[in-house]
Amino acid sequence: MDMQHLRDLYQGTNRRSGTFNFTPLTRIDKLDDITLVNARLSYRFDYRPLRLSDSEVFLAVNNIFNQDYEYAKGYPMPGTTFFAGFSMKFK
């Protein structure tokens, strides 16, 4: 499980992109504070008949509390999202 809290975050990528088009950030560029909670449950296993070693099945939930947030104004990020999957490693 993990939690991420971001505050005093500003939108804008021109300073990170390496371009020379610098515009000053203003309060209009300031984003709301963000608190996200995610969880992941996994099980690692070996199964010799199929020569599987250190394989894994997992279930994950991102943005558990369905926080409304965006990293750039006008581009909302997804709400609660569920993932399931597996990885198989053969020897």
pLDDT tens-digit map of 66-81: 999 988 888 899 999 9
Tell whether pTM > 0.85: no
pLDDT tens-digit map of 28-65: 778 889 999 999 999 999 999 999 999 999 999 999 99
Single out the residue of 84, 90, 89 nearest to residue 42, CA to CA: 84
- Supply the pLDDT for residue 80: 97
Strands 70-72 and 81-87: unpaired
- Supply the pLDDT for residue 18: 59
- Supply the pLDDT for residue 65: 96
- Supply the pLDDT for residue 53: 94
